[in-house]
Structure 1
């Protein structure tokens, strides 16, 4: 079998026109007749997208309309974890390939609608997008429907264009780095040691001295909340995007958004004590003696005299 493959490859290379390069990849292009997807080089060779984002973008573009492309659906399909897949989807969204919007279903529940654009640059230049056949909104993590056959391509001239609404929603301000109540010398030394030692556990997280000085309060806030150093180290090094372009920004983001709450005290953990119901004292409107009742009025003696009379 290996000999047959080698002979077929030798024959295919011999039929290529022109001299072959001395090094680098050599393409043997056999035209597809079924089950293929046209992908632009602007995505396949994107200079700013990670390889995971490019791969997920190509995979989404190859799926039929209605396929589930949420984080959990992709994590069940590929070996990458949910954090890496979520980061790749954010990359595609930042560069215009992916758009996600929350819509309300007929039953009142909220669902995520995902739209993938194969040419975001052309979309921005033209200010319009070809209207895709979008199925009714369903939650992203619902059971996958049976795939429908892909429709025949329709000439672009016959497709009705629709306007893309401008992005007018204001961006939320970034959350500040957590700060401890008091940055003691002991907290500073421990936080600095944890940050400097990150590269021993994740070679991508090489921080400069200025980065460590800036991030010390964030780690100190975690230590002040009695988080163990190994737990901090795991939160900062697990499931890193590949390659991480800005290690200091990744550490700052995780210190901010993953900050755990303070440990509850003994009073919060103690079981609730039921207090006995106390009926208030009232002064009798007849004899002015005190008696217990929820409402003012007459005491029992005055009520008995009135009943006897």
Structure 2
């Protein structure tokens, strides 16, 4: 190992923890730890991966913290290594909801998901689509044969957007529209809006002719409802609300559908040409709007939790 003479008896318990709810989260259904787990990686990435693997969940594995506790590497080197670990299938960045058992309220937290078992893009796509209860027991299915892609699973928000056209044909949205609007619709659901309330917001009071349904949907979804905690009676009838999870680009943290994150990186960070604009705003405008949303969300996050 190249990480400043890390020894097998070095205790990872001394590594600082992130703020409660944030930090490292181990991916489910990993193979037992072996000496050769990271032998396929370059020496620096293998060393950092082995160190992260030994840390408990909740550890602060931000770039700044890793560069501080691993003095052989600066922040630029650590950032590059995390990108390469993402491309190799060991790491993904993202956000997911957590529920306060006392109040029933939910909030988004930033997480770094780590797997000592390398996963392909199809496995990470299935991981995003699978929820967990408030107890934190993940139900993702292992993918030990990366060559066999998992069936694609859509989020609750995506399914609602895709179904709007059944009741209001003039508001029919394309698959690309649903992907683009998914994060906005998810924000409605995490604030306590029901499926019916979300559909009503998208379809009520429409003009006689709708020429740009995606643009109308985007405008309406941007007007978020106030947050509200679920009623205890509703929790008893429906059970714990599932965790909502959104993966982000490892490099720029732009949220995206997992199939758009090849190796955990978006098209821009992979230096691929942008997709041609479709109905609605150009891709550059959409990314600018997403950046504003992330900036507003970051002001509510505790410091030191971003990678």
Q: What TM-score comes out, normalization by structure 2 length?
A: 0.26
Q: Relative contact order (alpha carbons < 8 A, sep ≥ 6): 1 or 2 greater?
A: 2
Q: What TM-score comes out, normalization by structure 1 length?
A: 0.26
Which protein shows a greater Rg?
A: 1
